[in-house]
Structure 1
């Protein structure tokens, strides 16, 4: 799940058809897409051929509405996604593609574990790249009125790829949200960051691991990855740690965290300088990490905190880090309990972004604040005890 789920791309202000970006008759919507394509300079024949076979996909809409997998807490989610077999397979592929990883590290300063983790989680190292028709998926989600501003530009990017001979609207398949290839990139990202990693003169993200890895690295660099720097590292926190200081909202230098008693679990700190945060994905009784500035780049790839935390952690495992110290965090809330908590937080004036049952950044921040208000340890981890107090 790349930037389709992470970045709300604004429609071009000058677009003559931006007033009606979604909904209505599907045939009328296709006509509107063609008209906008012509305004963008796409040849009429290209737009006609691209749209000729497009159909609305109910299966895509169903998947868009059913993303409960990302509601699992970090420990549960990470244990599901990180198996010994997946770890060993990643290490084998690191050796197999050592040359391209060396090239990526030299050109972009991105460690191989980072790309291996995305490759693993997005498509199980290329084995399952999705069988949804990509053109159908993009047009369906552009027509749907939930997030048209994200997907409508992707339709025109796919048309550009089609004009270049790099996309077949009738045959190109991928994930339900329109991503393509081994590391799942959207058409705009392919246009901007597609790279020929194997030297055959074309970019093929579905069958060339070198192309996919090189393109993924280019995209991370474009998103702001800081070359040669770490992303997260497991730490141990002192007993008197101020839990309200944890969370991505608070940034300090590594030296300041060390002065507060934060210690790396294994050896010295991997990072230095400002902009580091302490992350406790399941509260004060669970594992703890120091997050460096590169960790924030992950949220440009996917906005799910649980996914990001797991991908970043798996990247460290692929580079030799030990299994985290799980601790004994309090049980999390069910989906219905989370909705009830969010409704009660909203009633107290907190903006949690809606009662959707997902523990996002807004809910975590509200939980942390209300915990402090109630005199509880403000670790941003919602529990049944907190729900009962509210």
Structure 2
């Protein structure tokens, strides 16, 4: 799922527009039409795009029911990664070898990276979503939870319609407005759409070359460094300073080596490259070194668990072995995680919404409290930590 960070989305529209949400849905649509006319679109185009627009309650239910992200990394990754997906990914790599070679030559992005997104977003194009894209975007913009994120995408879809590359009545995709095999938002398509098969159209729903090249261009636009690694499994020394782990701490590979980190397979990257040590389920579970390209994944999706799983799956598709799951300490149930977040809030931490999801803010607060209480500061919340708090 391709979701823009809220801070970035807020820059795309004037502040006066951010307040325009809620109220009568028909009145909201009329305000969008007037804004489009003011922006210079002709009335025929505007009326054609908004004709038949309606609120979609299924979109709102989907937006509030993302329970899969509450799973810890091991469960989540095992849920998404199957041998069948690996086999199909390798088959797709062969089938579209010429496209992947072009991607590698043009953008320096390994095929495993695109294959992983392709697999997770739409199961290699098999399930692209059946939500009407225009209605989904208008519904989410009308809903006052995140209007700054979705409202700009309505006008991007309008621009695609003007260019003949969007059918407001028939274009479908994911509930959050993403379209095509690698699920790109309308603005991403405008910025990064590539007609890779040369038929004169950017067809992300029906052309795998178009979808893959467009996804690669978007990753490049977001800052992907050509030919550089993104994630690598490592083994830990027994005396590692766990307080230095986490996505916010970046040390040179040389410094990690001095502390005793070793690659599980192959060699670590260049000694000068910065990297973060990630322990998704604590110091007894899997361990990964995340390189600068890993940060680009968060421009695609904001979920730490999804991002880490996608990056790891890219490694598997490139030939890496299954990670060492270790024996992580017991985690928290959803109800316990909410209790933990509430207690952290009461202590003055900003953990975002109390939703039972172990996100970046909750991890940071957990790590700080673990240090204060003399527990292993690996950012993995346990019943023992909850009891101490």
1:36-61, Cα deviation, whole Å (9 max, x unpaired) = 11222222211111111111000000
Q: 2:190 maps to what in 1?
A: 191
SS at match of 1:322: coil
Q: Is the 8 A contact 2:4 2:299 kept in 1?
A: no
Q: How does 1:190-339 map to 2 (within 5 A)?
A: 190-339=189-338
Give the Cα separation in 2 of the matches to 1:8 and 1:225: 18
1:265-285, Cα deviation, whole Å (9 max, x unpaired) = 012114542321101110000
Give the Cα separation in 2 of the matches to 1:84 and 1:5: 32
Q: 2:97 maps to what in 1?
A: 98
Instruction: State whether structure 2 residue 120 is matched by structure 1 residue 121.
Output: yes
Give the Cα separation in 2 of the matches to 1:40 and 1:335: 46
Q: 1:213 to 1:6 in 2, by over 3 A?
A: farther
Q: 1:84 maps to what in 2?
A: 83
1:149-196, Cα deviation, whole Å (9 max, x unpaired) = 010000000000001110001000000000000000000000000001
Q: Is the 8 A contact 1:6 1:300 kept in 2?
A: no
Instruction: State whether structure 2 residue 70 is matched by structure 1 residue 65.
Output: no
Q: Is the 8 A contact 2:6 2:149 kept in 1?
A: no
SS at match of 2:17: coil
Give the Cα separation in 1 of the matches to 2:147 and 2:322: 40
Q: Is the 8 A contact 1:6 1:302 kept in 2?
A: no
1:230-272, Cα deviation, whole Å (9 max, x unpaired) = 0000000100001111101111111111111110001211454
Q: 1:3 maps to what in 2?
A: 3
Give the Cα separation in 2 of the matches to 1:155 and 1:227: 32
Give the Cα separation in 1 of the matches to 2:44 and 2:348: 54
Compute the TM-score of the two structures, normalised by the length of structure 2.
0.98
Q: 1:346 maps to what in 2?
A: 345
Give the Cα separation in 2 of the matches to 1:338 and 1:375: 20
1:267-324, Cα deviation, whole Å (9 max, x unpaired) = 2114542321101110000010100000000000000011000000000000000000
Q: 2:153 maps to what in 1?
A: 154
Give the Cα separation in 2 of the matches to 1:247 and 1:293: 14
1:200-223, Cα deviation, whole Å (9 max, x unpaired) = 121000010000000000000111
Shift of 1:356: 1.6
Shift of 1:102: 0.5
1:314-337, Cα deviation, whole Å (9 max, x unpaired) = 000000000000001012211111
SS at match of 1:9: helix
Can you give the 5+ residue segments of structure 1 that lack an aligned partner in the other structure?
none
Shift of 1:5: 6.5
Q: Which moved more, 1:266-275 or 1:321-330?
A: 266-275
1:328-352, Cα deviation, whole Å (9 max, x unpaired) = 1012211111110011111112111
Q: Is the 8 A contact 1:333 1:382 kept in 2?
A: yes
Give the Cα separation in 2 of the matches to 1:368 and 1:22: 38
Give the Cα separation in 1 of the matches to 2:257 and 2:12: 46
Q: Is the 8 A contact 2:18 2:147 kept in 1?
A: no
Q: Is the 8 A contact 1:233 1:270 kept in 2?
A: no
Q: 1:44 maps to what in 2?
A: 43
Q: 1:136 to 1:100 in 2, by over 3 A?
A: same
Compute the TM-score of the two structures, normalised by the length of structure 1.
0.97
Q: Is the 8 A contact 2:252 2:271 kept in 1?
A: yes
Can you give the 5+ residue segments of structure 2 that lack an aligned partner in the other structure?
none
